[in-house]
């Protein structure tokens, strides 16, 4: 069973400068190769496929995976403006709601 959390770690290891430093297209191809092996069952396969597409298009993989797993109907609530900006740039039809943060208080 190939879990989304495992894929997240694999992508980080393959793409990180501390890991193998591979580009997004190469990483996505390799993950798809693993997922396509005859005896591998992929949990949340549709969401993973979307996340890999969005990753290749320039979105951070963790952001893409969280948004894809959240789904089109629910969307994603986040503090990260970058996810929303990238989703808008890619014209994704997945809602990203920014959660307001409380202003810092002085002691």
The string of DSSP codes covering 7-73 is HHHHHHHHHSTTTT---HHHHHHHHHHHHTSTT--BTTHHHHHHHHHHHHTT--HHHHHHHHHH-TT
pLDDT computed for residue 102 by the predictor: 74
Kindly report the backbone phi and psi dihedral angles of residue 77, in degrees, each rounded to the nearest multiple of 5, phi listed first.
Answer: -100, 130
The reported pLDDT for the residue numbered 75 is 86
Tell me the whole-structure pTM to 2 decimals: 0.88
pLDDT band at 35; cut points 50, 70, 90: very high
């Amino acid at each position: 069973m190939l879990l989304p959390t495992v894929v997240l770690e694999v992508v980080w290891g393959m793409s990180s400068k501390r890991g193998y430093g591979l580009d997004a297209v190469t990483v996505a191809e390799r993950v798809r190769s693993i997922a396509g092996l005859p005896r591998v069952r992929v949990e949340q396969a549709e969401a993973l496929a979307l996340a890999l597409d969005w990753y290749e298009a320039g979105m951070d993989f963790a952001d893409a995976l969280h948004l894809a797993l959240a789904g089109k109907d629910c969307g994603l609530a986040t503090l990260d403006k970058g996810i929303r900006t990238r989703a808008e740039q890619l014209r994704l039809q997945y809602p990203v709601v920014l959660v307001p943060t409380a202003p810092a208080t002085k002691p």
